[in-house]
Each structure stands twice: as C-alpha cells, then as structure tokens.
Amino acid sequence: MMSVDEISPKMLELGKKAKEAARKLATISEKEKNRALLAMADALEKHSKRIIEENSKDLENGRSQGISKALMDRLLLNEARIKEMAQGLRDVAKLKDPVGEVIEGWKRPNGLMIYKVRVPIGVIAMIYEARPNVTVDAAGLCLKSGNAVILRGSSIAFNSNSILTEIISEAAESSGIPAGAIQQVPDTSRKSAEELMRMVGYVDCLIPRGGADLIKTVVQNAKVPTIETGVGNDHIYVDKSADFEKAYRIVINAKCQRPGVCNAAETMLVHREIASDFLPRMLEMLKENGVTIYGCEETKRIVPWVEEATEKDWETEYLDLKIAVKVVKDVDEAIDHISKYGTLHTEAIITEDYTVAQKFVSEVDASLVLVNASTRFNDGGQFGFGAEIGISTQKLHARGPMALRELTTYKYIAYGNGQVRE
C-alpha cells in the first residue's frame, strides 16, 4: 500500500471515505439502490437551472481558451441533456442488479458446495476530460453495481462536475446511501491526478476516459489496476456491393452527428470498383455538412478538390468535422489498413455480400464490428445498458461499453459440513 506520507490529507480522506462506503454499499439491497437512483434523477431536473448556470462558466472559459467546437459540444449542458442524464439514471434503475448473481455452482465428491458469485469491485476512480455527463453516468452505474466512486474531471468542466456531484451525492445520501459513495476530487491539479493513480489499497480500479494522451499517461503511470478505454480511430469500409443510399446515410451519421466523440468515424475506405461512382456524391454530401476531407492520391484523382492525405491522417482521431478517405482494391486491403491503423474501438462495413460481411467481422479486431450500421452505436445506452462508464478497448475483464456487469468481479463461496482436506 502507498505510504500515508505520500498521499495528501485531502486525497487520503477521499480514499478512506470511499473504502468505508464501498464496504457498506456491497450489502445494500437493489430496492435501496434504485430508490437513490430515482432520487438523483429527480434532483438533476429540479436543479437544472443551477446546473446550467455553472456550466455557462465552463463554456465561457472554454471559449476564452479557444477549444474546438467539438469539445464545446461535449461540454455543453442544457435542459435536454440534463433530462437525458436523468433518464439514464432511471434506465439504470430498471436494470437487474448484478450483485449477488450466482454465475455457476457445483458439488464436489466430498459434498462441498462451491458457488461463483458476482460482487462489486469496491472503489472505482475515474479520470476524464470535458464530458460532464460522465459524472452522472459513472456515479449511477457505480452505485447500482455496489461500488463507491471517486471522480476527477478536467479543469475545463470543473464547475459543471462540481455542481453535478453535489446534487447527486446529496440526493443519494438523503435516500440512505452511505456518505462517501460519490465523491469528487476537489481540484484538477496534476498532483491530485498522480496521487489518484497511486492510491494502492484505496482505489481498486482506475478508468481513464478521454483522449489518447490522457489514456496513455494513466496506463503508463498508474500503480492501481486500470481499464484502458477508448481512443477511437474508427473506420467505415464501403464494399463494392454496398447500397449507395444506405452508405450515404450511414457515413453522414457516423461522421457528422457528434464528431467529437470516440465512436465517430474518422476514416472511410472505399472499394476501387465503385470509387468513381460513389465518391463524388458522398464527398459532396460530407462537404455540405462542413466536413474537411483528406484523400489519398486516387481519391484526389476522382474528386480533385479534396485535401491531400498524409500518413498522419490515417492514424489520427480527429474528434472534429474531418475525415480521411482511401480507395482500396478489396476487402483484404481494407482489413489490412484497419489492422495497421485501428485502435480496437469500432469498425464498420457497408455491404450486401454476406460472405464479405462475415470475412470482415471475423478478421477485424475491435470491441464492436458493425455491418450496415453507423459506428455511433458503440454506446452503452444504445446497447440497452442504461449508460456506460467508458468503452474498453482492451481484452481482459471488460471489452466494449462498460456497464453494470463490467463493474463487478466475483468471489467463490463454499459451503461444507465438516469437511477437511486429506
């Protein structure tokens, strides 16, 4: 365990409160947790004016710092988004509580009964960037799965995160949830983040959620167990058998609906046999939606006005109204490109050929592979999970949208009748 001398008093207090709350949360009934979630949802809507006032301070700071339109969109809270967050909590309340589920059980020849039972992880810590909705989603999912949560957002969203944490934690405690179950790190200093990464014995799992630099920093420096989430350099491959009208709708949605999120498409790959027919209208539609297009040499030959793509474009998660376009000779070249530049997040194919679709889903390595659907569906809410705490791009314990079950572990329980080992 990290020495007490190496942790500041404020962080040590957070850790102690969270650890004690987690011990109590593990025994709280599903009914009690659901009551708290509904109270949290009501409180968000009741105090929406206060939330918007605090969020306006963050938006003003963001404008003064010149952050991108995509990040400003991530940061924005309004009545509609507050209602969405509240509804997310209500949706989580409707879901089955995973805690206590008997995963499997068996009887040994000596009569010993062994059960594998789902239990909370304990204390979850989150380090995340300008997404205040993450504050509510994480708190709700952690509470329902019996975990305490320590939240550490970015400076750009500090006012929004603070008011959200205050409102939902007060509502939860008023409903009988132990104090310390939902806490926010009281500053956004680098020191507090570093301490959170090293709080062995207090934090059971740390989840970073944000851009590549944040995730890399946490994974490389954390001393507590981490789950790597979502840098999304996501691709859409348009096969030679694709339905053009279907492809137009999917690509526009995947790139333009919310370009600043990790499940937005960043590269479009197009089969050479249809490129001359498909690309002119497709790229014009993207341009009309404000998208800057970076094309390979063959793309520029077909549509001369696009900007020239460089090697950097193939590996970039733009999080903006920008897309890279490459013409490929077939599905094998598309898969090779994705294997080289993809981030194991979300990949999609548009095709009417079943054999090609099956080849793509079998050979492409990602947390979600889609056929004839937008990459924007890699999302806990869209999966029916109520919300998500992040999209895991690793392969151990959790992969894809992380919700209630992914925030649990298990333990074995054995019942005997006096057995001893010989």
Which domain CATH number covers 214? Answer: 3.40.605.10
Q: Are residues 240 and 199 in the same domain?
A: no
- Confirm whether 383 is domain-assigned: no
- Domain span at residue 123 reads 4-229+402-415
Q: Are residues 155 and 251 in the same domain?
A: no
Q: Are residues 177 and 215 in the same domain?
A: yes
Q: How far is the C-alpha of 307 from the C-alpha of 15, rounded, in Å? A: 51
Q: How far is the C-alpha of 410 from the C-alpha of 238, rounded, in Å? A: 42
CA nearest neighbour of 168 among 74, 48, 27, 59: 48
Q: Are residues 14 and 47 in the same domain?
A: yes
Q: Are residues 219 and 238 in the same domain?
A: no
Q: Are residues 160 and 23 in the same domain?
A: yes
Q: Are residues 98 and 159 in the same domain?
A: yes
What DSSP element (H or E) covers 287? Answer: helix 272-288
- Confirm whether 390 is domain-assigned: no
Q: pTM for the whole thing?
A: 0.86
Q: How far is the C-alpha of 346 from the C-alpha of 370, rounded, in Å? A: 8
Length of the chain: 422
Q: Are residues 312 and 171 in the same domain?
A: no
State the angle between helix axes of 212-221 and 190-197 in degrees (0 to 180), rounded to the nearest 10: 50
Q: What is the pLDDT along the chain (422 residues), one digit of tens a residue?
A: 445 558 899 999 999 999 999 999 999 999 999 999 999 999 999 999 999 999 999 999 999 999 888 788 889 999 999 999 999 999 999 999 999 999 999 999 999 999 999 999 999 999 998 889 999 999 999 999 999 999 999 999 999 999 999 999 999 999 999 999 999 999 989 999 999 999 999 999 999 988 778 888 998 899 999 988 878 999 999 999 999 999 999 999 999 998 988 899 999 999 999 999 999 999 999 999 999 999 999 999 999 999 999 999 999 999 899 999 999 999 999 999 999 999 999 999 999 999 999 999 999 999 999 999 999 999 988 998 877 888 898 888 888 988 999 999 999 999 999 999 98
- Confirm whether 219 is domain-assigned: yes
CB 158 within 8 A of CB 58: yes
Q: Are residues 199 and 316 in the same domain?
A: no
Amino acid in the structure at residue 390 = G
Q: Collapsing DSSP states into helix, strand and coil, what is residue 412? A: strand
Total domains in the chain come to: 2
Q: Are residues 244 and 372 in the same domain?
A: yes
Q: Are strands 123-128 and 148-152 parallel, antiparallel or unpaired?
A: parallel
- Confirm whether 393 is domain-assigned: no
Q: How far is the C-alpha of 275 from the C-alpha of 244, rounded, in Å? A: 11
- Confirm whether 68 is domain-assigned: yes
Cβ contacts of 122 within 8 Å, gap of 6 or more:
19, 22, 147, 148, 204, 205
Q: Are residues 132 and 246 in the same domain?
A: no
Q: Are residues 142 and 242 in the same domain?
A: no
